[in-house]
Amino acid sequence: MAKKLHIVCVSGTREKLQMAAMIASVAAATGDEVSVFFSMNAVKYFVKGNSDEAPNEGDFGQLMGKGVPPFRQLFQHAADLGDAQLLPCSMALDLLKISKDDLDPAFGPPTGLTKFLSDAEGAQLMTF
């Protein structure tokens, strides 16, 4: 039986985005139901054309720059291969003055926190 995993990404640091992406892609690839909610500092890395590197939180972030699939690619794999939902926070989009059309095509509809948490009821919830 597939498990339900809901991930909240609010950090803009490489290590946290990378760990969230690794967990999402592995869980989705193994058949779990995965939903990732992007808000605050995490959203800007998924605006079309934004190639900014997320800042390293510590030394490990620098090590991941070599030979490790980047978080954007892993989230894309989770959506493509495992049908994970990538959901932008509607409040963050409003504050950043961007629309869903400004985001990578893998992203689903803008979602409010209340809806996301309601959908996550009874599931495993992780925050990065």
Distances (CA, A) of 7 to 3, 49, 116: 13, 24, 10
Sorted by where each begins, the domain ranges of the chain are 4-127
3-state secondary structure 6-44: EEEECCCCHHHHHHHHHHHHHHHHCCCEEEEEECHHHHH
The three-point CA angle 104-110-112 to 5° equals 145
Maximal CA-CA distance, the chain:
40
The three-point CA angle 85-101-110 to 5° equals 45
Which tens digit of pLDDT belongs to each residue from 10-28? 999 999 999 999 999 999 9
Please check whether residue 69 is in contact with residue 19, taking contact to mean a CB–CB distance below 8 angstroms. Answer: no
**Residue 1 pLDDT > 70:** no
Which tens digit of pLDDT belongs to each residue from 24-81? 999 999 999 999 999 999 999 999 999 999 999 988 888 887 788 999 999 999 999 8
* Model pTM score: 0.94
Which tens digit of pLDDT belongs to each residue from 106-122? 999 999 999 999 999 99
| Angular region, 92: left φ>0, alpha ψ -120 to 50, beta rest | alpha
In this structure, which CATH number among 3.30.2350.10, 2.30.30.40, 3.40.50.920, 3.40.1260.10 belongs to the domain 4-127?
3.40.1260.10
Instruction: Give me the sign of the Cα torsion angle 102, 35, 27, 125.
Output: positive
